[in-house]
A and B are shown apart, each in its own frame.
Chain A
């Protein structure tokens, strides 16, 4: 079953429900009335369409059906978490009584079994949510597996586990069209590049969070991948690439702007921090503008949140030490109101554009 086809079917069902509701309003207001023949044609058409979708994709065709589906999802999430916890605790109970070969076999089989479960759910045309849940559980189990394997075999930690985890997440994400796993995989691969550079420099790979400038090339590459693919990827995945790139790059800049100089030895410490903060402000503003252009709410929200954090950090550096605290927070509040007015104006302008 094609995941996109199921998603599109659900979107069509939602549009049909909205259309029917709007049609009823229009008829009540006397703006439009269908003849009995047109209505029966429409009802028959929608009846066939919806039952076809329900049979083929298992979509929810009513609000109550949707609510029950959400209940089922929450129950399955809690149930799945409880079952995994039960399994982990049971393994803890018997772990010491198992020979090393059996331990390794169990650790290897666990993520494979969950992956097989995801594939079985997919083949049975189960809701994408359940497939995603099983795939995510497989990813989490793989992370746990590698940690437990390292512990059981007394292995020294290695940066290459990040590569294994990242590739696994990426492959499963592409197999089932899962955005969360794709995001996790991209961030892991970005971290891997930073860890690998640090490793080649002779430092301990796990210290890459102390050298966050090493994350920036990977983050930039992630943000640019949708351009390099020239629109050949899915819209959802392109958004994940950009959100992960922007999120990782902005977090790296934020850490650099507070922890000080890691690159520009010739400058004063304060000047370097200010440069990173101003760079972060400009980059986050750029993300907002790009998000508005692409009509991607998530990208806009990410850029706005980062812009506010960078602004706060910069103002804190300028004013906190000499200004009375009440005045500092008053100014922060006034700046927030000013930003609100600017965003309202942008929203009004975008709304006018949409109406025209």
Chain B
């Protein structure tokens, strides 16, 4: 009996790893989410333990926000879009129990359309200094619909993300209630937000980690030092296909 229990436990470990590999194989079968070259501005080197040789890139992205502010809800995530994404927006925000209804809503997984060097970036950079050229421009529950809407796979990625509904019944400064309580939509995250860089591509980036040069987060104006060819596959999960140094690299 004990041996059978242990064999099943060992089987769970093997099957779990095997399932992961099957998913990777399925994902990499077709770059359905898009194939694109991003730079250090969009894929920053993640700080990990100094002794580690692992290389991880963090996706830096942004979204057009209401009032063109640096922080705030997504401008395009209105009540109609939130309802499309599955949020129950049937309670009028002005009702007394609306806050309780909306604040208890968990985040929802969605598919995001990410625009690279497009209209959203140009519009935002005209108003303020921006760090990245990768911008979330739309969301849907069906990735195929997004791809039909944004067919240019060189400039539009489809990836997984999380969207949150917010209920605003007071001003940001807390100075008092606005005339009408309202609903807000926030793009909370891209999933996964970090991309592991395997051999042989990580060798190029590891050298950059050692130079001690400032990263884009620290210096927004610095030129990117590398470009990464990256794909989002059939499961809308990313993988790195290539890394090259740019002429600005030391």
Contact = CB atoms under 8 A, between A and B. Distances in A.
Interface of A: 89, 92-100, 104, 107-108, 111-112, 115, 119, 142, 145-146, 149-157, 161, 164, 167-168, 171-172, 174-176, 198, 202-204, 207, 210-211, 259-262, 265, 269
B108 interface: yes
B107 interface: yes
Given A95-B53, A108-B13, A155 B23 contact: yes
A259 B104 CA distance: 9
Contacts of B107: 203-204, 207
A167 B198 contact: no
Nearest to B48: A92
Interface of B: 2, 5-6, 8-10, 12-14, 16-17, 20-21, 23-24, 49, 51-56, 86, 97, 100-101, 104-109, 141, 160, 162, 191-192, 194-196, 198-199, 202, 206, 235-239
A255 to B, nearest CB: 12
A249 B44 CA distance: 43
B106 to A, nearest CB: 3
Nearest to B7: A171
A164 B199 CA distance: 29
12 contacts: A89-B49, A92-B54, A96-B54, A96-B202, A152-B198, A156-B237, A161-B16, A175-B9, A203-B105, A204-B106, A204-B109, A210-B106
A82 to B, nearest CB: 16
Nearest to B97: A265
Chain A at the B interface: SS class: helix
Contacts of A96: 52-55, 199, 202, 206
A145 B198 contact: no
A171 B199 contact: no
A115 B10 CA distance: 8
Nearest to A107: B17
Contact of B194 (A92, A151, A161, A202): A151
A119 B17 contact: no
A23 B192 CA distance: 68
Nearest to A202: B86
Contacts of B198: 99-100, 152
Count chain B CB atoms within 10 A of each CB in A96, A98, A172, A260 and give the residue with the most.
A96
A171 B55 CA distance: 36
A166 B239 CA distance: 29
A204 B108 contact: yes
Contact of A154 (B16, B108, B192): B192
A119 B2 CA distance: 10
B55 A145 contact: no
Nearest to B230: A154
Contacts of A211: 104, 106
A202 B17 CA distance: 26
A142 to B, nearest CB: 6
B52 A92 contact: yes
Count chain A CB atoms within 10 A of each CB in B9, B20, B53, B100 and give the residue with the most.
B9
A153 B158 CA distance: 18
A166 to B, nearest CB: 10
Contacts of B9: 115, 167-168, 171-172, 175
A65 to B, nearest CB: 28
Contacts of B16: 145-146, 149, 161, 164
Contacts of B195: 154
Contacts of A164: 12, 16
B199 A97 contact: yes
A259 B105 CA distance: 12
A84 to B, nearest CB: 16
A254 B65 CA distance: 37
B53 A171 contact: no
Contacts of A115: 6, 9-10, 13
A154 B46 CA distance: 14
A168 B6 CA distance: 9
B17 A104 contact: yes
A93 B53 contact: yes
Contacts of B101: 265
Given A156-B160, A156-B192, A261-B100, A108 B53 contact: no
Given A198-B106, A203-B107, A211-B106, A92 B51 contact: yes
